Amino acid sequence: MSTSLHKENQELYSNVPPTKLRNKNEKFRPAAPTPFWRWVADRFFYNMLENRFFSLKIKNKENYDKRDPQFASILYAPHNNWWDGIVGYNLCRRIFNTDIRMMIEEMNRFPILAKAGAFPVNKKSAQASMRALQYAADELCDNSKSLWIFPQGIIRPPMYRPIEFQTGMAYIAKNVVKKAGGINLIPVAVNYPFLREDKPEVLCEVGEPVVLTDYNFDRKEFTHNLEKAFEHLCDKQFEDIRHGNIDGYEYLYKQKLKWYKKLEKRLKKIDIKPNSGV
């Protein structure tokens, strides 16, 4: 009996953004959240996360409180997989209690996400991307809002190094400071490890915020400094996980034990004596 393996050649990670590959003038859809659709999105995205992951844990959430509340915030994280946006939405809504805006490149394929606070970015050209950057800056003149963004601008493999940002986040920050006087930049390291459970867990570590009130800076140099600090935060989180050090994390949620996990705990308590016949 012979077994054949089907090998599919698939490019998991591309250096070319999907909207640039499509090269189309796609419609810009501003975020249009309503109380009803927020209620739906809050429950839908939370249930998705809870069904897939054993837990979501957060560390140093008090760093979020070090921001200047008179300014809006940009929260930024690595972009490794499909779940990143859903994790960001849950953090902003359930832990930070903020009115989230999220820049999503593929949003025109899912326009209903505008009802949850998302808006698209088309990367076919620098000029096409500018609409989204300008819109984000205008939205963040309202200090009740926060932007969740992936400054790498493209999905990268887990632990991809060096971490490299595009300059879009610095552009948004500079323009918000010009218009509103300041902006908070808050890094969040995110990892999806298997620990001691049958499902992976989501570990989020909040870094120290940068409260920016001066817009007279070089965007490339500023972006490079943010890259280095963010890479240090992510590497430190990875090293902690690698050594089994998850002290300081708090649960957003934790699944109840399944029947087979409860059975496992009971079996571990059974003391079988030698020559007992069992």
Instruction: Let me know if residue 8 belongs to a domain.
Output: no
Q: What is the pLDDT of residues 133-180, one digit of tens each?
A: 999 999 999 999 999 999 999 999 989 999 999 999 999 999 999 999
| Separation CA 107–CA 88 (nearest Å) | 16
pLDDT confidence of residue 3:
53
Instruction: Let me know if residue 14 belongs to a domain.
Output: no
Q: Would you say residue 248 has pLDDT above 70? A: yes
Global pTM exceeds 0.95:
no
Domain tally, the chain: 1
Instruction: Let me know if residue 2 belongs to a domain.
Output: no
Q: Would you say residue 67 has pLDDT above 90? A: yes
Average pLDDT value for residue range 181-201: 96
Instruction: Let me know if residue 59 belongs to a domain.
Output: yes
67/126: higher pLDDT: 67
pLDDT confidence of residue 83:
96
Instruction: Let me know if residue 1 belongs to a domain.
Output: no
Instruction: Let me know if residue 17 belongs to a domain.
Output: no
Listed in sequence order, the residues at least 6 apart from 222 whose beta carbon sits closer than 8 Å to its beta carbon are 170
Instruction: Let me know if residue 3 belongs to a domain.
Output: no
pLDDT confidence of residue 98:
95
pLDDT band with cut points at 50, 70 and 90 for residue 86? very high
Q: Is 86 exposed, middle or buried (0-12, 13-18, 19+ CB in 10 A)?
A: middle
Q: Residue 123 maps to which CATH number?
A: 3.40.1130.10
Q: What is the pLDDT of residues 5-31, one digit of tens each?
A: 555 556 788 888 888 888 888 889 999
| Separation CA 168–CA 176 (nearest Å) | 12
pLDDT confidence of residue 12:
83
Query: Which structural domain, as residue segments, surrounds residue 51?
Result: 23-269
